[in-house]
Structure 1
Amino acid sequence: MENSSSSANSFNDGYTQMENPICRCRKVTTMAKSWTDENPGRKFYKCDTHGFLCWADKEKPFGWQKISLLEARDQIRQQKEQLKELNESLRACNDKDLNGADSGMMNLEMFEKIAEEKRKLEIEAMASKEKEKLLRQFIVISWGGFIVVTAMILTMAKK
């Protein structure tokens, strides 16, 4: 029982978050998240003046985890762009002068269609964020399991 708690503690030690470090300009840094192709989802500390200071986590994402995070990032960006386009078209519809009952009905139908599509895209975006959150939790748990199994194998090998 004691070994399992020490294994859990060693797992948590790798992921504990330190206090935000101080930059060379003596300002407290803030934590941010990288979405570059090289470091998707990786947390780092940044200074408002000097930018990047250091990584908050010790290991870079790689393999299928990195690919999944990049795919999720690209999908979120695409959905944000679609929402932006829909909002612009809604604004354009609102700005147009409605002349006559027929064009008013057509514009109203178009407005309702666009509003419905916007609502659906917002729901999709929320679902994507939830999927991303679950994927991140799975990654952390899988790393924890990997570390525990590796520690057990090393312990058995020493005996």
Structure 2
Amino acid sequence: MITQEGEAYGFVVWIDKERQCLWQKRSLLEARDKMRRQTHDINALREALDKANAQVTALEVSRITGRRIEFLKAVEELLKQNVNDSDKKFRRFVVSSWGGFLVAAAVLVYALKM
């Protein structure tokens, strides 16, 4: 049972005598829509930032890789030159050794004939 003062058995009862205003509902719906748009925009910006970071990382890797490739090519060229020089020295050594062997053999044969 509700009394004239709006109390029911010791509890306060809220009774709205006025109708709700539509502007309140409209404001809440607009705020909800705005929040959804902002959430969508934030997600789109995060994706764009991730793509940009990936591109920057790829550029940095290619720059570093490019430098390493140039360095490796220079090292490879130096190794080829050293191998060629070593081959030339080895050939000279072999030719000199055979020449020395032939001279020693000729001297020995000449000494034995006498």
Counterpart of 2:89, as a letter, is L
* 1:135 has 2:87 as partner: no
Larger relative contact order, structure 1 or 2 (CA cutoff 8 Å, min sep 6): 1
2:80 maps to: 125
Instruction: Give the deviation of 1:118 after TM superposition.
Output: 1.3
The structure with the greater share of residues assigned to helix is: 2
1:95 maps to: none
Provide the rounded CA distance (Å) in 1 between the counterparts of 2:57 and 2:108. 76
Provide the rounded CA distance (Å) in 2 between the counterparts of 1:103 and 1:151. 70
Query: Deviation per CA, 1:51-104, whole angstroms, max 9, x where unpaired?
Result: xxxxxxxxxxxxxxxxxxxxxxxxxxxxxxxxxxxxxxxxxxxxxxxx722211
2:67 maps to: 112
Counterpart of 1:125, as a letter, is K
2:106 maps to: 151
Give secondary structure in 2 for the equivalent of 1:100. helix
Instruction: Give the deviation of 1:115 after TM superposition.
Output: 1.2
Provide the rounded CA distance (Å) in 2 between the counterparts of 1:152 and 1:131. 31
Counterpart of 2:76, as a letter, is L
Within 5 Å, give how 1:1-159 maps onto structure 2: 100-159=55-114
Provide the rounded CA distance (Å) in 1 between the counterparts of 2:57 and 2:94. 55
1:49 maps to: none
Provide the rounded CA distance (Å) in 1 between the counterparts of 2:58 and 2:65. 10
> What RMSD in Å do the two structures reach over aligned CA positions?
1.2
The structure with the greater share of residues assigned to strand is: 1
Mind listing any 5+ residue stretches in structure 1 that lack a counterpart?
A: 1-98
Provide the rounded CA distance (Å) in 2 between the counterparts of 1:151 and 1:106. 66
Mind listing any 5+ residue stretches in structure 2 that lack a counterpart?
A: 1-53
Provide the rounded CA distance (Å) in 1 between the counterparts of 2:95 and 2:78. 26
Give secondary structure in 2 for the equivalent of 1:112. helix
